[in-house]
Structure formats: structure tokens, C-alpha cells
Structure 1
Amino acid sequence: MKILPIHGTDLNASNVVLGMMRIAQLRDEEIRTLVAVARDNGVNSFDHADIYGGQRHACEQRFGDAISFGPAERESVLIQSKVGIRPGLYDFSKAHIVRTVEESLVALRTEYLDLLLLHRPDTLMEPDEVAEAFDELQGTGKVRNFGVSNHTPGQIELLRRSVRQPLVVNQVQLSLVHAPLIASGLATNMAHLDASIDRGSGILDHARMNRITLQAWSPFQSGFASGVFLGDREHYGPLNDEIDDLADAYRVPPAAIAVAWITRHPAEMQVVLGTTSPERVADAAAGSQVPLTREEWYRLFSAAGHTLP
């Protein structure tokens, strides 16, 4: 497993992260097995959010019920959570941020979060109020580092004008098929190509210039809610053929190739898995260090349906 420094922090994180958004209905033993397999495969990072599980803090509570890290092991793993989504609105008020973090800590049965991310942009955000929340949470030792999720460069810069702490992570949707933040840069200045429309607002370049770690969620999805492309030969036949060929060549499962396409990028991204299957966790983790060549990376990009001008 490749370990990456999260710039601006003292964190060293696996480039594969286990997302815990679907564990609400799992038994304690199933959660323990899932986490154990992840740890055995080198994963040291776990992703949560207060809204995961249908009820507030449901998945965090299940994780806290099932997993007990001793002091030494707790220091060796990274637990992150997200805040800001409420039913029907987004809320970056100081009161909501602080209260939600305190509830998350109780549910997770931990004294601190390694990372807290603002989940989706709140257009009514007051940056100075967010800064007050971050100062309080850091000052009391409840949160050690901060970042965002699904934010544009402009939204990040607006926050940075007030927030003293570095914003070290931006969690965004990215997969081989859903890759506008990469595809638009490759098709720039080509007016006849739909891909030339910058739907990512320059997220990739901004992250690289500011040493912000991008975390890719839904790495096997073809869109926001349009299904998994792995194994879907009806819609993604050429892509699956290319993935299978490379999986055979590298002697890894197909999921590993889909992960490797993301981790191969020099932006040094992390891949956030959403599966509850221990076998799929192991399959995906095998892609952490697959050394795709430049030619292989671009063949996958083209097979996914993206256009190279």
C-alpha cells in the first residue's frame, strides 16, 4: 500500500481509504471483518460523515460500537468525518459545525478527528464564522486538521481568506468514466468538444498548485447515480476489455486497475471505497501501487469514452 503525506499536516495516509457510508445495517462482526481486511491490506484511513446511514451519526455509531482502537492503534489510523448537510439545506454555522463534531466524537468513541471536511458548499456560509468553529475545534483538540468536499477553487479561496488552518483535502467525485476535472483540461480550447467545457472549475490544477490532496469518491461509478462501469459490457464494453487485459498483465483484479488509473496520476490522489465487501476492499487495495505506464493510462482514458483532440 502506498502511503502519502497529507501536505500541511503530520499525517501519512494510505492512498486507498475505506468509506463507511453503508455500514449502518452490518453486524458488529461484519464491520470488524471489513476493517480488519482493510488494515491487513495497508489501509489506514477511514471516511465518515454525520449524515451516513439514514439517521444522523448512524454509521459513525455502528463504527464506534464495533471497533475499539487502543491508544497506540488509534494514533496509527486516520479517522475523518464530514459536516454541513442537513435535511433540505446546507449549514456551515459555527453552532452546527461544533455541535455536529461533538456528536460525531461521541458516536465514534474517539477523542479527536484527524480530519474534518465541510461536506458540500453552503452558499450562505460566513467564512469568519467557519473560522471561529475551526479555531474552537482545534483549540480543544477535537479536530487536528481540516478540509472540504465537493468545493470549487473559488470556494476554497473564499474560506482561506478567513480560516487560519490549512485546507488540506478536497473530496470530489472521480472515476475512469466520470472524470470531467481531468477531461476538460485535456480538451481545453477545443470549442467543438463538449469535454472542453470546464465543469470542474480548475479543481485539479488548483489542488496541485496548493498541495491539496484530492480524495476520489465513487471510483467505480459511471456518474452520480448511474451505476458501476466495472463489468458493464453493455455500456462500457471496450473499457472493460482494456481493464481486463491490464488486470491479466499485472495479475490483479479488474477493480485494482480502476483504482490504479486514479492513483497513477501525479496529483497523488486518494481513492475512497464505498463497498461493504471485504473481498472488494482487498481487490481495490491491490491497485494502490500498480505502475500503469503513460500509454496504458491514456488507453484507459480513451476506452472510457473520453476524447483526446
Structure 2
Amino acid sequence: MNYTHLGRTGLLVSRLGLGTMNFGDVTDEATAHLILDAAVDAGINLIDTADVYGGPQSPDMKQGYGTSEEIIGTWLAKGDGRRDKIVLATKVYQPMGLGPNDRHLSAYHIRKAVEDSLRRLQTDHIDLYQMHHVDRSTPWQEIWQAMEQLVRDGKILYVGSSNFAGWQIATAQASAEKRNFLGLACEQSLYNLTARTVELEVIPSLRHHGLGLIPWSPLMGGLLGGVLKKIEAGHQPRKRLADQIKQLRPQIQAYEKLCADLGESPADVAAAWLLHQPAVTATIVGPRTLEQLTSSLRTLNLTLSEQTLIALDEIWPGPGGEAPEAYAW
């Protein structure tokens, strides 16, 4: 396993992170524990979850709600030094109840949310506490005051963001610097071969402020995972994925042919492409089974040639570079 610093911090994280959104939803607890054991044995130390993961992400559908954290908690409770082997990351923002303050980033909700996550995770601290989305209604002074208190109390170590725009990252950091606070350590964004908008302004902002980038959905919900071959084998995609396939079929065909010519699976090529991007710290893989995790590890040993990277850019062109040069001068 290769490790790298999380942005400008001294914290080392594995280049692959284990995403656990499927835990408690399509992956039962016993299988999830096997996946966690195998991930740690393979050297993965970044374990990523969220308070809302584990089932339908809606507070009026309690079944499975928050179960991902609970499953990780029962795994940690087995002891044997598990907690000291991982960098534990979770998130706050999403609705966790029907009350008016059961969501977003008020100091009130942050305080309650972190205590609930700690209880479900059966630990005394969270290594990376990520804001799942920007809160347009709460001032940064309030958010940072709440986060600083959690750091002082030893309940969290680092703060991250997710789904932030470049200017929102800059605003957050400017406010943190006024308080002599580290601020954000990383951003978790949608980033893959088909979704490259972050190259315009998010990635330049991260580079300027010294933040790490952790892409989520490296396979774009299965679109980059050999979907046409699966359809040929009789698999029927869900409507949203089917609509994307219809729109992008020529590109998908070219992509899957390129992967076949390389002798590599489309899923491995998609994840490897991300790890070839200089801004990327680690990419999240979200296996539903132990076999899928084992397959994902192949990515770490897959080196893409310059010719292959150029071919991938031709099939899946980005926005043209960074702003404003991508559209002006």
C-alpha cells in the first residue's frame, strides 16, 4: 500500500479509502466486518462513512438509518488494536431527524451530531470530521467556533469538506485563518472520467490552500465499471443509469474497447486514472462484497502510460483546463 499526506497536514492516508455507504444497506454486518478486516490487512487505513449512511437517506425512514457507523462501531469494539490502525472519517450535515435543528451546520446540530456519531462508532474521537455539504445559512464564525471546541475537547482531529465549490473553500479558509485555526484539511468531491468540472476551480483552490482531494463515485454509479458488457450478460441497469448509457453510449463503447485492448477491467482503469491525477490524495472505493474489495486493490499496481492517458482524455474530455484559461485567457 502507498500512503500520502492528507493535504498540508502531517497525517498519512492510504491511496485507496474504504467507503462504507453500502454497509447496512446492501451489505450485512458480517460481510462488512470481513471487508473491514481485509481492507486493513491490505494496508488501507482511511475508512470513510457518514452519519446518514446505512439505508434510505431520509429521516422519516428510520430502518437502516445511521447503520454504517454502527457496523463500524461493532467492528471497532472487537478490539485487537483496530482503532489505532485506521484514520476514521465521518460526516455531518444531512437530516438526522424531523426536528428543525436535526440537520445542517449550526453549532447546536454539530454538537449533537458528533456525540451521536461517537456513540454509534463506539470510539472517543473522529480523525476526520467532514461537512457533507456547505451550509449557506450558518456563518463561518459559528461553524469554526463549534469545530474548534470539538478539537479542544479531543473529539475530532481534522475537519474536511465535501461537495464545496472553489470559492466556498476559499471563504472557509479565509475565516479559519483569521481565527488562527487550521481550517479544512481536505475536500471530498464528485470526480471521475465523466465528471471533471472540479478541474475548473475546485482543484486550483485546493492546491492554493494546501488541501487534499478525495474523489467519490470513481465509477460514476457503475457507468465506468464495464456496464455494456454487463448488459450483454443480461444485467438490467436502473433507469437513471440506463438514461446515462443511452446518452453516452459511443463514449462508453470506446472506453470499454480501450480497456479491453489494455487487458484491464474498466473499473480498474477508472480508479487508476484518478490516482494518476496530481491533485488526488486518495480515491474512495465502496465495495459491496469482499470480492469487489479484492478486485479494487488491483488499481494500486496499475500504471497507465502517457499514451493511454491521452486516449482517455480524448474519450472523456475535461472542461479544457483550469479557470479562467479554460474559457478565456
When the two structures are superposed, what TM-score results if normalisation uses the length of structure 2?
A: 0.79
State the partner residue of 1:212: 211
Contact 2:160–2:186 (Cα < 8 Å) also in 1: yes
CA distance change for structure 1 residues 290 and 28 in 2, over 3 Å: closer, same or farther?
Answer: same
CA distance in structure 2 between the partners assigned to 1:268 and 1:230 by the alignment: 20
| Partner of residue 185 from structure 2, selected from 152, 159, 168 | 168
Please give the residue correspondences for 1:231-250 in structure 2 after superposition, counting only pairs within 5 Å: 231-233=226-228, 235=249, 236-246=252-262, 248=263
CA distance in structure 1 between the partners assigned to 2:85 and 2:70 by the alignment: 21
Deviation at 1:69, TM superposition (A): 5.9
Residue by residue over 1:176-206, the C-alpha shift from the partner in whole angstroms, topping out at 9 and shown as x without a partner, is: 1222223xx5xxxxxxxxxxxxxxxx00111
Contact 2:161–2:187 (Cα < 8 Å) also in 1: yes
| Amino acid in structure 2 at the alignment position of 1:123 | R
| Partner of residue 124 from structure 1, selected from 129, 137, 155 | 137
Residue by residue over 1:24-65, the C-alpha shift from the partner in whole angstroms, topping out at 9 and shown as x without a partner, is: 144332111111222233211111111112344221012212
1:155 is the counterpart of 2:168: yes
Matched residue pairs, number? 283
1:17 is the counterpart of 2:17: yes
Please give the residue correspondences for 1:1-309 in structure 2 after superposition, counting only pairs within 5 Å: 1-25=1-25, 26-53=27-54, 54=56, 55=62, 56-68=65-77, 70=79, 72-86=81-95, 91-163=104-176, 164-182=181-199, 185=200, 202-221=201-220, 227-233=222-228, 235=249, 236-246=252-262, 248=263, 253-304=265-316
When the two structures are superposed, what TM-score results if normalisation uses the length of structure 1?
A: 0.84
SS at match of 2:175: coil
Deviation at 1:100, TM superposition (A): 0.4
Q: How many percent identity over aligned positions? A: 24
Deviation at 1:286, TM superposition (A): 1.6
Residue by residue over 1:118-155, the C-alpha shift from the partner in whole angstroms, topping out at 9 and shown as x without a partner, is: 10111102111111111111011000011100111211
| Amino acid in structure 1 at the alignment position of 2:44 | V
CA distance in structure 2 between the partners assigned to 1:23 and 1:253 by the alignment: 25
Which residues of structure 1 form unaligned runs of 5+? 186-201
CA distance in structure 2 between the partners assigned to 1:160 and 1:51 by the alignment: 26
Deviation at 1:71, TM superposition (A): 7.0
SS at match of 1:238: helix
CA distance change for structure 1 residues 69 and 8 in 2, over 3 Å: closer, same or farther?
Answer: farther
Of the structure 1 ranges 12-21 and 87-96, higher mean CA displacement relative to structure 2 is found in: 87-96
CA distance change for structure 1 residues 69 and 127 in 2, over 3 Å: closer, same or farther?
Answer: farther
Contact 1:19–1:273 (Cα < 8 Å) also in 2: yes
Residue by residue over 1:242-265, the C-alpha shift from the partner in whole angstroms, topping out at 9 and shown as x without a partner, is: 12223x2xxx54422111100011
CA distance change for structure 1 residues 66 and 23 in 2, over 3 Å: closer, same or farther?
Answer: same
Which residues of structure 2 form unaligned runs of 5+? 57-61, 229-244, 321-325
Contact 1:243–1:258 (Cα < 8 Å) also in 2: no
| Amino acid in structure 1 at the alignment position of 2:138 | M
SS at match of 1:144: strand
| Amino acid in structure 1 at the alignment position of 2:39 | A
Deviation at 1:287, TM superposition (A): 1.1
CA distance change for structure 1 residues 178 and 307 in 2, over 3 Å: closer, same or farther?
Answer: closer
CA distance change for structure 1 residues 21 and 303 in 2, over 3 Å: closer, same or farther?
Answer: same
Deviation at 1:300, TM superposition (A): 1.4
